[in-house]
């Protein structure tokens, strides 16, 4: 699987760990920045990852900032993206299983590196359940169409 990964300055150190971990699992990683812990703007990196997923260059995306919230807000502005800010492996499971989320957003200020790895593992192992959840995901896509015309 090709996974786009991005972070702002607050998440840079965890991004480095995520990239190493994903590669060790055998995934191809597209590193969308940032490349240091110098202050930067999270929407830039959220857009890079979201666009890579939305246009099919990458299968899924992972974003890390201080809380995961800012990244999810920015990534969700890209049509076709369902970014979920998660603080636990259980939340990552439900984001995939019920919401077919294609970008996982985590917070380096809220989670340890081990917790982030647990979320990644659960995220990657969980398929979308479809069924009644597919109808709900279609409704999300319809809302997106209202916004984009």
Catalytically active residues, by annotation: 65, 98
CA-nearest of 99, 115, 118 to 107 is 115
Strands of 15-111, DSSP E: 28-31, 60-65, 83-85, 103-107
What radius of gyration do the chain's Cα atoms show? 14
Distance CA(129)–CA(107), nearest Å, equals: 26
Distance CA(81)–CA(97), nearest Å, equals: 15
Are the C-beta atoms of residues 137 and 39 closer than 8 Å to each other? no
């Amino acid at each position: 699987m090709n996974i786009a990964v991005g972070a702002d300055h607050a998440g840079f150190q965890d991004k480095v760990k995520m990239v190493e971990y994903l590669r060790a699992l055998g995934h191809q990683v597209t590193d969308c920045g940032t490349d240091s812990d110098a202050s930067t703007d999270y929407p830039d990196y959220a857009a890079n990852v979201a666009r890579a997923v939305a246009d099919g260059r990458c299968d899924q995306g992972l974003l890390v900032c201080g809380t995961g919230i800012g990244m999810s807000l920015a990534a969700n502005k890209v049509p076709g993206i369902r970014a979920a800010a998660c603080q636990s492996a259980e939340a990552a499971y439900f984001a995939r299983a019920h919401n077919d989320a294609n970008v996982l957003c985590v917070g380096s200020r809220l989670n340890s590196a081990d917790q982030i790895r647990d979320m990644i593992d659960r995220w990657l192992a969980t398929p979308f359940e479809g069924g009644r959840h597919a109808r709900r995901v279609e409704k999300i896509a319809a809302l997106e169409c209202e916004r984009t015309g």
